[in-house]
């Protein structure tokens, strides 16, 4: 078994079997990460470039560490807005990096479709580390991995995703992944952030969080961008928290063994209360650990497609 594409641009483009393969492979790497010596020589001699057009700490660090654990050489390029303004086109930057011999280009960009554009224009494997409001596929894969570890299946689970769905690439990737693996997905939030036509993606929509959380197996919280406040999406973060913040009282509506997830970074007191974030049902830090294993699996499998 191997992946069909040299690139990972989105969950939308994957089949359920591809996702299963990545999750299985990640499971093997998670064992490696539990050992004393956490590094394997699998991809020695390969070069990984982190090409980040948007600031990121956790995703970039996670990719960097995953690439290093597989023994690839890693270069981090943070393209500040100022050098983009200076005039080099995205395509020229990427071709230059490829000409230096990169095997993997991990890209994050504020414009949707950038990973797709690079995948069409480059021979190197392109991995989408977040493009605009489109997708963040490795985040969804690590979320699926975490659910699988805890629940041993995804089919038939009821999953609530809460918050700014419209602008969230994490939510989009998770919706596709969860639907492909047979989960029931509910989106919860104000209509300004959860447009009605998203029903066409095969999900249910709730504006009332108490109703939406009833008997769910998983609660996925999303980061609320502070910039949205006062832009008409919602009046204030105080009002938002009152209606859509995850508190212990609200969480009680979910199943007793429901998991609480969050892709980070969290805004405590805006979308999630501290006691829930740090509570027993929170798997937020495990998500971070699993991210490493999943990203190793992705790099490893894509290298196989190339060879």
Partner 1 sequence: MKITIRNGRVIDPSQGIDCICDVVIEHGTIKEVQKSKGEVQGEKGKTKSRTNERHKEEKEIDASGMLVVPGLVDMHVHLREPGFEYKETIKTGTEAAVRGGVTSVCCMPNTSPVNDNSSVTEFILRKAAHEGACRVYPIGAITKGQKGEELAEMAMMYEAGCVAFSDDGRPVTDSLLMRRALEYSKVFNLPVISHCEDLTLSAGGVMNEGVLAVTLGLKGIPAQAEEIMVARDIALAELTGGRIHIAHVSTEGSVGLIRAAKKRGLAAITAETCPHYFSITEEAVGNYNTFAKVNPPLRAKRDVEAVKGGLQDGTIDVIATDHAPHHRDEKLGEFDAAPSGISGLETLIGLSMKLVDEGLLTISELIRKTALNPSLIVGLKRGTLKPGADADIVVIRTGEEYKVDPALFISKGKNTPFEDVTLHAKPVVTITPVRIYEWE
Min dist. Cβ of residue 201 to partner 1 (A):
7
Q: Is 133 in the site for partner 1 (CB under 8 A)?
A: yes
Min dist. Cβ of residue 182 to partner 1 (A):
19
Site for partner 1 in 112-131 (CB under 8 A): 112-114, 116-117, 120, 131
- Please select the residue that binds partner 1; options are 57, 89, 155, 257, rule is CB under 8 A: 89
Q: Could you give the string, one character per residue 145-174, with x where binding to partner 1 holds by CB under 8 A and - elsewhere? A: ---------------------x--x--x--
Min dist. Cβ of residue 117 to partner 1 (A):
6
Min dist. Cβ of residue 130 to partner 1 (A):
10
Q: Is 228 in the site for partner 1 (CB under 8 A)?
A: no
Q: Is 111 in the site for partner 1 (CB under 8 A)?
A: yes
Contact (Cβ atoms closer than 8 angstroms) between residue 209 and residue 188: yes
Q: Is 305 in the site for partner 1 (CB under 8 A)?
A: no
- Whichever of 19 and 165 has its CB closer to partner 1, that residue is 165
> Helix/strand/coil (H, E, C) string of the chain?
CCCCCCCECCCCCCCHHHHHHHHHHHHHHHHHHCCCCCCCCCCCCCEEEEEECCCCCHHHHHHHHHHHHCCCEEEEEECCHHHHHHCCCHHHHHHHHHHCCCCEEEEEECCCCHHHHHHHHCCCEEEEEEECCCECHHHHHHHHHHHHHHHCCCCCCEEEEECCCCCCHHHHHHHHHHHHCCCEEEEECCCCCCCHHHHHHCCEEECCHHHHCCCCCEEEECCCCHHHECCCCECCHHHHHHHHCECHHHHCCCCCCCEEECCCCCCECCCECHHHHCCCCECHHHHHHHHHHHHHHHHHHHHHHHC
Number of residues that bind partner 1 (CB under 8 A): 25
Token pair for 246: 């995850």
Min dist. Cβ of residue 112 to partner 1 (A):
3
Min dist. Cβ of residue 113 to partner 1 (A):
3
Site for partner 1 in 182-201 (CB under 8 A): 195, 197-198, 200-201
Q: Is 7 in the site for partner 1 (CB under 8 A)?
A: no
Min dist. Cβ of residue 159 to partner 1 (A):
18
Binding site for partner 1 (CB under 8 A): 12, 89-91, 109, 111-114, 116-117, 120, 131-135, 166, 169, 172, 195, 197-198, 200-201
């Amino acid at each position: 078994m191997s992946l069909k594409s040299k690139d990972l641009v989105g969950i939308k483009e994957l089949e359920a079997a591809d996702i299963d393969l990545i999750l299985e492979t990640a499971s093997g790497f998670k064992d490696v990460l539990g050992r004393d010596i956490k590094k394997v020589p699998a991809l020695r001699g390969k070069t990984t470039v982190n090409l980040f057009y948007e600031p990121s700490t956790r995703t970039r660090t996670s990719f960097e560490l995953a690439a290093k654990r597989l023994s690839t050489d890693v270069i981090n390029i943070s393209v500040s807005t100022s050098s983009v303004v200076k005039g080099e086109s995205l395509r020229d930057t990427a071709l230059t990096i490829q000409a230096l011999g990169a095997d993997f280009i991990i890209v994050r960009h504020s414009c949707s479709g950038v990973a797709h554009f690079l995948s069409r224009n480059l021979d190197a494997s392109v991995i989408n580390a977040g493009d605009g409001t489109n997708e963040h596929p490795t985040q969804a894969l690590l979320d699926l991995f975490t659910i699988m570890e805890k629940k041993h299946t995804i089919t038939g689970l009821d999953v609530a995703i809460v918050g700014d769905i419209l602008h969230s690439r994490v939510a989009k990737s998770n919706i596709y992944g969860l639907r492909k693996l047979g989960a029931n997905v509910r989106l919860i939030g104000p209509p300004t952030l959860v447009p009605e036509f998203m029903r066409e993606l095969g999900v249910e929509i709730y504006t009332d969080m108490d109703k939406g959380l009833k008997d769910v197996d998983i609660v996925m919280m999303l980061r609320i961008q502070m910039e949205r406040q006062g832009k008409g999406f919602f009046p204030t973060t105080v009002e938002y928290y009152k209606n859509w913040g995850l508190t212990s009282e609200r969480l009680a509506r979910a199943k007793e063994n429901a998991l609480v997830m969050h892709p980070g970074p969290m805004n405590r007191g805006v979308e999630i209360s501290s006691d829930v974030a740090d509570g027993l049902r929170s798997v937020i830090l495990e998500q971070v650990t699993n991210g490493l294993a999943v990203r190793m699996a992705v790099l490893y499998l894509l290298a196989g497609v190339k060879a």
